[in-house]
Chain A
Amino acid sequence: MTSGLRKAHKYSWLLLIILIPLIMVFALKDVPLLSNNEALTTFESSKGNIIKTAENDLLKVSVRSNSIEVILKRTIKNASSIIYNSDSKGNKNHIIGQISTVGIYTFNIETPPKSIVLYDNLKGELITKLDF
Chain B
Amino acid sequence: MGLNYQFVLWNKHKKMYDKIIVLSMLLYLILFAVVTLVFNSETSIETLILRAFGSLAIVLLHIILVIGPLSRLNTNFLPILYNRRHLGVSMFITALIHGGFALIQFHALGNTNVFYSLFTSNLDYNSFTNFPFQVLGFFALLILFAMASTSHDFFLKNLSPTVWKRLHMLVYLAYALIIGHVFLGAFQQETSPFTIGFLSVGFIVVGSLHLISSFREAKIDKSIIDKDAQGWLKVCTIDEIDDDRAKIFTVQNERIAVFKYDGKLSAVHNVCKHQGGPLGEGKIIDGCITCPWHGYQYLPHNGQSPPPFTEKVATYELKLLENIIYINPKAFEEGTEVEPTQIQKT
Chain A CB within 8 A of B149 CB: no
Select which of B40, B44, B189, B276 is within 8 A of A2 by beta carbon. Answer: B276
Residues of B contacting A: mostly: helix
Q: Find out whether the CB atom of B123 lies under 8 angstroms from the CB atom of A26.
A: no
Assess the B254–A2 pair: CB atoms within 8 A: yes
Q: Are A124 and B196 in contact (CB under 8 A)?
A: no
In the complex, the answer to whether B211 meets A3 with C-beta atoms within 8 Å is: no
A37 in contact with B169 (CB, 8 Å): no
**A101-B128 in contact (CB<8A):** no
Chain A residues in 8 Å Cβ range of B175? 16
Q: Are B276 and A13 in contact (CB under 8 A)?
A: no
Shortest Cβ gap from B65 to chain A (Å): 10
Contact pick for B121, options A21, A100, A125, CB 8 Å: A125
Contact A121 B188 (CB under 8 A): yes
Chain B residue at minimum C-beta to C-beta distance from A78:
B106
| Size range of the chain B interface in the assembly | 35 or more
Question: Which chain B residue lies CB-closest to A43?
Answer: B42
With an 8 A cutoff between CB atoms, is A79 at the interface?
yes
With A and B bound together, what is the CA distance between A84 and B176 in angstroms? 30
Alpha-carbon gap, A29 to B215, bound state (A): 32
* Residues of A in contact, count (CB < 8 Å): 43
Please indicate the chain B residues that have their CB under 8 angstroms from the CB of A16 in the complex: 172, 175-176, 207
Mark B70-103 against chain A: 1 for CB-CB distance below 8 A, else 0: 0000000000000000000000000000000000
Measuring CB to CB, which residues of chain B are less than 8 angstroms from any residue of chain A? 40, 42, 44, 46-47, 105-106, 109, 121-124, 128-130, 132, 134, 162, 165-166, 169, 172, 175-176, 179-180, 183-185, 187-193, 196, 200, 203, 207, 210-211, 214-215, 217-218, 221, 253-255, 271, 276, 278
24 contacts between A and B (CB under 8 A): A1-B271, A3-B221, A3-B255, A6-B217, A6-B218, A6-B221, A8-B169, A9-B169, A10-B214, A13-B211, A17-B211, A21-B203, A24-B179, A24-B203, A31-B191, A33-B191, A33-B196, A37-B191, A79-B106, A100-B42, A122-B106, A124-B132, A125-B121, A125-B122
